[in-house]
Amino acid sequence: MIVSVRNARDRYLTSLLKTAANFYAGMLMSPQLIKHLSIRIIIYDSLGKHAQAYCCPEELSGRLRSFEIEIKKMRTNKMLRLLAHEMVHVKQFAKNELKAKYFRDGYKTVWHGEVCNIDSYWDQPWEIEAFTLEEELLCYFKEEYQY
């Protein structure tokens, strides 16, 4: 897996985020899938009114292999948690569990092959999975790397 980091405050944070991304990927996906992924992590001072992080696949159809993860600049521990959450979304897109599919009336979200029309962010099944796994991934990472 190729991981790059932009706008980190120092080399330590850059290295930590790369290490964490690789660790989270290893916990979530098969080695065969991981070796084809490319992830660009970009740190921003702000991301908008409510956003703290965002995962964006670099193509909307077919097998997704390139992703951009945007993370708001904040405490390192919080950034590691946000990265864990967004890496769950990378897994969802890469394994075609989550897709943005074009229909006549525009793009719709498809979750495990079914169009999902849930408007509430907190009730979306892909967010429920990401929130469920982020803490576990972070704990395993801290334990493995004594962070």
Q: Assign 47 a pLDDT band (cuts: 50, 70, 90).
A: confident
Q: What is the model's pLDDT at position 48?
A: 76
Q: What is the model's pLDDT at position 13?
A: 97
Amino acid at 88: V
CA dihedral 56, 58, 59, 60 (to 10 degrees): 10
Query: What pLDDT digit, counting tens, does each position of 56-112 carry?
Result: 998 755 567 999 999 999 999 999 999 999 999 999 999 999 998 888 998 899 999
Overall average pLDDT of the 32-48 stretch: 93
Query: What pLDDT digit, counting tens, does each position of 5-33 carry?
Result: 999 999 999 999 999 999 999 999 999 99
Q: Of 96, 44, 100, give the one whose Cα is nearest residue 72.
A: 44
The span from the CA of 22 to the CA of 99, in Å, is: 23
Residue 44 has pLDDT above 80, yes or no: yes
